[in-house]
Amino acid sequence: MGHIAIQLLLVWAIGCCWNVAAQYGFQIPDPTVPDFDSYNTISQGAFVNIIWLVNSTWQPTINSETLLDPNGNVSLWLTSFLGTGYTQCLTPSVHSSDGGSWAYNVSLSDDDIDSNAGKFVYRLKPTVGSQNSPYSTTEDECPSRGFMIKKASDVAAAAASSSAAVAASVSHAAAESRSEAAAAAASSASAASAASTSAASASASQASSTPGLASAGSPKSSGPGSVATGTGSTATGTIFLPSLTAIPTPADSTFTTTGTAAAAVSTSSQASNSGLSEGAKAGIAIGVIALVPLGVIALLLFLRHRKANALPQQPLPPSAAMAHKDYAEHIQQSAPQRQDPRQYAVPPPQGFPRPDPRAAELGEHVGYHGGAELPNPHGYGYGADVS
C-alpha cells in the first residue's frame, strides 16, 4: 500500500513539473511569474496580444503529444483555470510552424468573470472545425500561466478611489501648509507687537528720566531750547529742539518758528545727501596722490631734454686736435701707395721690320728697313752672319 502511494505521488510530481514546463510554451502571459501575478492581469473590454513559442519542432504539451496538424496549425482557447466552467474558442485554426500570436478583445460578461472568480487560462489544442466546436477534455494541450481578468466597473472604482485618495492627500497637505503659514503670521505679529511695546516702554522711560523735558501733551520752553512733543498710535515721545531765536524770520507772517526749524532741518539733510560719499572722496584723494609723482617725473625729463639740446658745441682742445691729425697722417702713410699705370705701358711698334733688299749687294751687317737700327753686339737676328 505504501509503495502504491509513493508511485502515485511521483506521477503527480512529474505531471506538475511537466505542466510547468508546458506553460513556457507561451511568452505572453509571462511564464516566469507565478499564477495570478498582477503582472499578467488584464481588464474587461481591453485588447490584449497573446504570444506563444510552440512550433513544429518544439511542442511542450502535457502528455507529449503532437498539437500541430500537417499544415502547422493549432487552435487557441480561453477557459476557466479550474474545470470547464467556461470555454471559448478564440480561433479554430492559426498557423504556428514558427510560433504565433493572436490579438484578443476581452469580451467576457460580468457573470462570466464572477462565476470563475476572475481566474482564467489560455490553452493551445489541436485544430477544430469552427469557433462553435465543443471543447475536448481528452486531447492534449499546452496551457499558459493562470491570470486574472478584472471587471471594468471594478477597475473604474479602483481608479476613482485612487484619485480620491490622491486628492485627499493633496488637500491635507495644502491645509497643513495654510495652518503653518497662519501660525507663522501670528508669531510674526506677536513678535512685532512685543517689539513695539518694548520700544514704547523704553521711550517713556527715557522721557521721564531726562531733566528739562516737558511731559507729553504739554509743550513748554525751558532755558535756551524748546521741547516739541508728538502723539502716535502706540507711543508718545518728546524731541528736544535748540533755540530758534538766531534763525531769521521770513516776511510772511504765516511762516512759524516750527516751520522754519523743519525747513532748516530739511535743507541741511538735502545738502548732506547731495554731497559725495566718503568712499568717493577717498578714491579722488588716492587718484590725485598717484598723479602728482607722475607729473613731477614727466616735468624733470622734459627739462633735462631741453637743457641737453641747448648746450653749444665746444671745439676740441689743441692737444686732441694734434693727436687726431697725427693719427690721420699715420693711416695715410701706412696705406699702400697707388702706382701710375703709365710707367708699365709697352711702347707701340714702329712698323713691321723686313729685310733690306740691298743686303745681297752690301753683304755686311745691316739693320731693318722701315725701323730704327738697333745695336746688335752679338750679331744675332735677321741678316746676321752666324757662320
DSSP secondary structure, 47-112, as one string: EEEEEEEEESS----SS----S-TTSEEEEEEEESSTTS-EEEEEEEEE-BEEEEEEEE----HHH
Cα–Cα distance between 23 and 11 in angstroms, integer? 18
Paired strand residues for 52: 26, 100
Q: Map residue 196 onto helix, strand or coil.
A: helix
Please give the chain's pLDDT, 387 residues, in tens: 555 555 544 444 444 444 567 899 999 999 999 999 999 999 999 999 999 999 999 999 988 899 999 999 999 999 999 999 999 999 999 999 999 999 999 999 999 999 999 999 999 999 999 999 999 999 999 999 999 999 999 999 988 887 777 877 787 788 788 888 888 888 877 787 777 777 777 766 665 555 544 444 444 444 444 444 444 444 444 444 444 444 454 444 444 444 444 444 445 445 445 567 888 888 888 888 888 888 899 999 988 888 777 666 566 566 666 766 777 777 777 766 666 666 655 666 555 555 556 655 555 554 444 445 555 555 555 444 554
Using DSSP bridges, classify how beta strands 147-150 and 42-43 pair: parallel, antiparallel or unpaired.
parallel
Q: What is the pLDDT of residue 139?
A: 93
Q: What is the pLDDT of residue 39?
A: 96
Nearest C-alpha neighbor of 24 from the set 15, 12, 33: 33
Nearest C-alpha neighbor of 78 from the set 18, 146, 23: 146
Phi, psi (deg, nearest 5) at residue 167: -65, -40
Distances (CA, A) of 138 to 47, 135, 179: 30, 9, 70
Residue 348, preceding bond cis, omega within 30 degrees? Answer: no
Distances (CA, A) of 291 to 83, 174, 304: 108, 66, 20
Task: Say which residues have a Cβ less than 8 Å from residue 284's Cβ, sequence separation at least 6.
Answer: 276
Q: What is the pLDDT of residue 37?
A: 97
Paired strand residues for 369: 354
Q: Map residue 123 onto helix, strand or coil.
A: strand
- Cell 476581452 belongs to 106
Structural element, H or E, at residue 221: strand 221-222
Cα–Cα distance between 66 and 97 in angstroms, integer? 12
- Cell 518758528 belongs to 257
Structural element, H or E, at residue 321: helix 318-334
Distance of CA 250 to the CA centre of its chain: 69
C-alpha cell belonging to residue 163: 484619485
Paired strand residues for 27: none
Cα–Cα distance between 134 and 112 in angstroms, integer? 18
Cα–Cα distance between 241 and 258 in angstroms, integer? 10
Q: What is the pLDDT of residue 142?
A: 95
**Quick check: 30 and 145 in contact, CB under 8 A?**
yes
Distance of CA 350 to the CA centre of its chain: 108
Q: What is the pLDDT of residue 283?
A: 87
Q: Map residue 293 onto helix, strand or coil.
A: helix
Cα–Cα distance between 139 and 67 in angstroms, integer? 9
C-alpha cell belonging to residue 302: 622734459
Q: What is the pLDDT of residue 262?
A: 44
